């Protein structure tokens, strides 16, 4: 039924009621309904939309001939179809008014909705004053990527470089665990190069200055330079420090042509701990291997210009993995200022920022998975597929995010209305993407963990499956009420949780179980204590009888008790508190539920 038909139907019903009560005319209501519908349709077309186009949703899958019959009636042309024709985009003759046609279409029995083909734009466009100078953002589709994530504060990018200007407003409250390898302290000189690199990665989207590729991630600034140079050992120390301090991504905008085993060890160590390493390919227009970019566990980045062409200075060769904008890059510099710079040193942090966005969407991906996502989503430049200048292509942050799987799927339940019988289960499943361990538990309405179902397990066949039979950690059945099945996944860096609600009601027969079938009460003992367990909330009656089944003493009368263990005590007296003679007595415990179903348990007590 279309929108128009729903509106008219509602008004007609209302008219019938009013006419019987007040004698109002149905015709006036229909006029009012038509006017209301007209206003609603006109309101739809006040928003930005494609001229001369409508989007139609049908109530059912129409044949091509059925659709064409409607098009002929209203002079429409089918342009595109989705879902086998359930949705269509049509063009309208230019002399027709779109609101009028839409309203008439919604009168058709087979049409559910006719609406404008709305025009949408990115929801995120930084208002930072120098953003328009940062041409590389649009080149890598960063604005569209920011609609999905601007980066997570749980993701940290280590900038292993010269010092970063820690007082620069673009990094306020976002620098973590700074380290100066040269001095062994935490104070950093505000080096222009290191500050520029850090800004490309993560300058804040704060309405002033510039914006980084991942403007909400944390930055870990580490200085390795003593003057113009850094040595291999200091570089290795910095990489190991960053790995040990939990850096998710490391940017290495430096290099040389000499292989270093200590550097390679540090790189492999960091990769083994889950860090993603990104390095500049070098600026000498040579194919010589440049390290650390040439190490196998490092993403080597060449530099492109605004026309998507390899720059004249960028190194190239068989070790190049990916390319990124690296010429005339505007970013932060020391002294809380801004400036342009060119080089593969500027291209590498563009890729580091994109890697950080990927991890912000799914923090459980391995370095290899992030690399594959970056490469497969890149824009192919130069010769088809991989080549020595562009590697796998120029980085595309938005496409990379679209190819990044969500870490957690939807929780699937076999029921969210658990009618507990004592022999059935709630089955809960969750699909996951990434490398993590999972814990699954049941949470009550107050948020308390009442039963752990899985603890620290690896996913099986791409997910976790848990079963809950309704029992609490103590073995008793859960009282009726609201609960949640909680999935919590984590690795050594991140954790995420997801939960699904389950309503529990009792549909099982009552059960009363005593811990022992018989016991003795010697003359010198004060009490005979009988422990018993009930499987759900019950009204309990308990009484002592003699060997002729005559009532001796009532201990409880229809007392409401919760589902757990309880203790009954008898002191060997009757209702008048008179000691009973030696012999065997029986304690009968009767449990009654709300449906008046009963369960009994008998315990024999011998007085000696």
193 is catalytic: yes
- Residues 526/583, Cβ–Cβ less than 8 Å: no
Is residue 69 included in any domain, yes or no?
yes
Is residue 24 included in any domain, yes or no?
yes
67 and 105: one domain?
A: yes
Q: Please give the torsion angle defined by the CA atoms of residues 408, 414, 419 and 423, in that order, rounded to the nearest 10 degrees.
A: -110
37 and 151: one domain?
A: no
Is residue 124 included in any domain, yes or no?
no
- Residue 2: the pLDDT is 35
Is residue 264 included in any domain, yes or no?
yes
Of residues 161, 192, 234, 248, which has the active-site annotation?
161
Among 367, 402, 437, give the residue marking a domain's end: 402
Number of domains comprising the chain: 4
- What DSSP string runs through 181-222? TTTTBS-----HHHHHHHHHHH---SSSS---SSTTSEEEEE
CA distance 165 to 123: 31
Tokens of 192: 């222009």
180 and 86: one domain?
A: no
Q: What is the enclosing helix (H) or strand (E) of 265?
A: helix 261-272
What is the distance in angstroms between the CA of the first residue and the CA of the last residue of the chain? 83
Is residue 125 included in any domain, yes or no?
no
Question: Smallest Cα–Cα separation from 363: which of 330, 404, 335?
Answer: 404
The alpha carbon of residue 43 and the mean position of all alpha carbons in its chain are separated, in whole angstroms, by: 35
235 and 301: one domain?
A: yes
161 is catalytic: yes
Q: Which residues contact 140 (CB under 8 A, 6 or more apart)?
A: 213, 324, 325, 350, 354, 394, 395, 396, 397, 398
Q: What is the enclosing helix (H) or strand (E) of 105?
A: helix 98-105
200 and 337: one domain?
A: yes
Among 402, 422, 451, give the residue marking a domain's end: 402
CA distance 375 to 381: 12
Q: Provide the β-strand partners of residue 486.
A: 441, 499
- Residue 521: the pLDDT is 93
CA distance 289 to 211: 32
Q: CATH number of the domain that 557 lies in?
A: 2.60.40.2550
Q: Is 495 exposed, middle or buried (0-12, 13-18, 19+ CB in 10 A)?
A: middle
Tokens of 5: 């038909």
Instruction: Locate all alpha helices (DSSP H) within 273-388, ordered by sequence.
Output: 344-361, 367-377
Q: Is the pTM of this model over 0.85?
A: no
423 is catalytic: no
- Residue 81: the pLDDT is 77
Is residue 525 included in any domain, yes or no?
yes
Of residues 168, 193, 196, 506, which has the active-site annotation?
193
Q: Point out the residues of the chain with pLDDT beneath 50.
A: 1-27, 120-125
Is residue 123 included in any domain, yes or no?
no
347 and 324: one domain?
A: yes
Is residue 109 included in any domain, yes or no?
yes
Q: From residue 559, how far is each of 129, 232, 307, 555, 608 by CA, in Å?
A: 73, 78, 83, 10, 30
Q: CATH number of the domain that 246 lies in?
A: 3.40.50.200
172 and 229: one domain?
A: yes
Among 402, 420, 449, give the residue marking a domain's end: 402
Q: What is the enclosing helix (H) or strand (E) of 601?
A: strand 598-607
Q: CATH number of the domain that 89 lies in?
A: 3.30.70.80
69 and 195: one domain?
A: no
501 and 519: one domain?
A: no
Residue-range definition of the domain harbouring residue 482: 412-506
460 and 390: one domain?
A: no
Q: Is 72 helix (H, G, I), strand (E, B) or coil?
A: helix
Length of the chain: 608
471 and 527: one domain?
A: no
- Residue 346: the pLDDT is 95
Q: Which residues contact 549 (CB under 8 A, 6 or more apart)?
A: none
Q: What is the enclosing helix (H) or strand (E) of 506?
A: strand 495-506
Of residues 260, 345, 377, 537, which has the active-site annotation?
345
- Residue 538: the pLDDT is 93
Q: What are phi and psi of 557, to 5 degrees?
A: -130, 105
103 and 164: one domain?
A: no
């Amino acid at each position: 039924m279309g929108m128009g038909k729903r509106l008219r139907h509602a008004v007609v019903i209302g008219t019938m009621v009013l006419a019987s009560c007040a004698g109002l005319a149905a015709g006036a209501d229909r006029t009012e309904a038509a006017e209301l519908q007209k206003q609603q349709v006109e309101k739809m077309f006040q928003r930005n939309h494609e001229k001369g186009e409508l989007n139609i949703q049908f109530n059912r899958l129409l044949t091509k001939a059925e659709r064409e019959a409607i098009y002929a009636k209203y002079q429409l042309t089918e342009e595109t179809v989705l879902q086998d024709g359930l949705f269509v985009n049509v063009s309208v003759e230019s002399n027709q008014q779109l609101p009028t046609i839409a309203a008439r279409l919604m009168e058709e029995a087979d049409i559910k909705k006719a609406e404008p083909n709305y025009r949408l734009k990115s929801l995120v466009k930084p208002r930072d004053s120098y953003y328009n100078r940062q041409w590389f953002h649009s080149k890598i589709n960063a604005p569209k990527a920011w609609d999905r994530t601007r980066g997570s504060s749980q993701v940290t990018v280590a900038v292993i470089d010269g010092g970063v200007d820690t007082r620069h407003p673009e990094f306020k409250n976002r620098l973590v665990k700074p380290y100066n390898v040269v001095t062994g302290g935490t104070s950093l000189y505000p080096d222009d190069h290191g500050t520029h690199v850090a800004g490309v990665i993560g300058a804040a989207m704060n309405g002033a200055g510039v914006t980084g590729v991942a403007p909400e991630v944390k930055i870990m600034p580490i200085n390795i330079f003593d003057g113009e140079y850094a040595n291999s050992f200091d570089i290795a120390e910095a990489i190991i420090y960053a790995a040990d301090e939990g850096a998710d991504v490391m940017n290495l905008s430096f290099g040389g042509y000499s292989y270093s085993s200590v550097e390679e060890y540090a790189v492999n160590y960091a990769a083994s701990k889950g860090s993603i390493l990104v390095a500049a390919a070098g600026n000498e227009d040579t194919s010589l291997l440049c390290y650390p970019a040439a190490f196998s566990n490092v993403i080597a980045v060449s530099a492109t210009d605004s026309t998507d062409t390899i720059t004249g200075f960028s190194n190239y060769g068989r070790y190049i993995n990916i390319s990124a904008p690296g010429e005339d890059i505007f970013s932060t510099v020391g002294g809380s200022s801004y400036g342009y710079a060119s080089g593969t040193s500027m291209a590498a942090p563009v890729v580091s920022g994109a890697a950080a966005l990927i991890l912000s969407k799914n923090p459980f991906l391995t370095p290899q998975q992030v690399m594959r996502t970056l490469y497969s989503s890149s824009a192919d430049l130069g010769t088809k597929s991989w080549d020595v200048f562009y590697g796998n292509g120029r980085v595309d942050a938005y496409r990379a995010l679209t190819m990044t799987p969500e870490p957690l799927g939807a929780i699937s339940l076999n029921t969210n209305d658990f009618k507990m019988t004592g022999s059935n289960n709630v089955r809960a499943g969750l699909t996951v993407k990434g490398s993590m361990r999972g814990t699954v538990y049941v949470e009550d309405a107050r948020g308390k963990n009442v039963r752990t179902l899985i603890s620290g397990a690896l996913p099986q066949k791409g997910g976790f499956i848990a079963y809950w039979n309704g029992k609490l950690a103590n073995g008793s059945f859960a009282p009726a009420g609201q609960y949640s099945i909680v999935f919590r996944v984590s690795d050594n860096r991140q954790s995420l949780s997801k939960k699904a609600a389950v309503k529990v009601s009792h549909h099982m027969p009552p059960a009363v179980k005593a811990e022992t079938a018989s016991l003795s009460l010697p003359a010198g003992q004060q009490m005979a204590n009988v422990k018993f367990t009930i499987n759900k909330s019950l009204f309990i009656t308990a009484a002592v009888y003699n060997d002729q089944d005559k009532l001796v003493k009532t201990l409880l009368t229809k007392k409401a008790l919760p589902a757990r263990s309880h203790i009954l005590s008898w002191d060997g007296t009757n209702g008048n508190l008179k000691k009973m003679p030696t012999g065997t007595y029986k304690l009968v415990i009767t449990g009654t539920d709300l449906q008046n179903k009963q369960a009994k348990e008998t315990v024999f007590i011998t007085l000696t």
